Amino acid sequence: MAENQYIPLGQTSLVVSAEDERLQIQTEYSTHPYARIATTVTNSGQVVHKIERKLKRAVASEEEQSRLERVMRQQHSDIVRTIEGSVTERAPEVHEGPAVKTVHSETHEDPEAVEQRLAELESASSTAVGIAPENEHQLDSTKTDLVDRLREIPGLEHVFHLDAEGNFRGQASQKLFKKSHSKLFKSIPELMSIFSMLEGDDPARESGVCEIEYDRVYYASAGRDCYFITVKREDPDTDFEKEIKSIICPR
């Protein structure tokens, strides 16, 4: 059988804003330089956002192809709805393959709010997708579940996901952190060195939680994954460091 025999169908949508801005959203499967699915948002040919999910390996069966196509449809719809600014409304129709669906959006939502939701989608999408015969592995939800649990902490504002070497898990997330915390952004290497790198081929750090800005920003390491977490206190009794540590470093 040919190596790339099983190719999940991609999807393309066109969102036209109230200001007649035309954003094209395209979700595709690729195997080079590594297996992945990616949703790219372009404006007049210029990439403005890209959300990528790495695959553990290339698709190798019809069952895997069908399963990945469902994941791709969900990711595509989530991003289209986010850009439309209507996440609570009916998911827009999209077409598989080269066909393009034009969606007219009358939203006047604050662009920063859209950026933040795209960054949140990147955090949730950064987990590798597990693909194996006979459903041996489903979508690896461990990291996604961790982020979701963090967001349940009262007063938690945002979770920025990075790898152990300080690379953000998505362009939108990096852009938002740089914009809202410019001084911290410049100091990321120094801040991350609070938890030392461990020996080994796979980059990982010591686990732990540290308050970076009083009652505002925390830095947490879960080994291979690190997080900058911003909070806005709602409950005077919430111990943010304790709550974060119970999720990041469970005993």
Q: What is the pLDDT of residues 73-91, one digit of tens each?
A: 888 888 887 777 643 343 4
- The pTM for the full model equals 0.54
Percent of the chain with pLDDT over 90: 33
pLDDT for the residue numbered 45: 82
Closest by alpha carbon to 222, among 231, 240, 210, 209?
Answer: 209
Which domains are present in the chain?
A: 11-135 (no CATH), 142-248 (3.30.450)
CA distance to 10, 27, 29, 124, 159, per residue, from 39 (Å)? 9, 4, 9, 14, 21
- Per-residue model confidence as pLDDT tens digits over 149-176: 888 899 998 889 899 999 988 777 888 8
Which contacts of 236-240 are long-range, i.e. CB under 8 A and separated by 24 or more positions?
A: 238/153, 238/154, 238/155, 240/153, 240/155, 240/156, 240/211, 240/215
- Per-residue model confidence as pLDDT tens digits over 87-111: 334 344 444 454 444 444 333 344 5
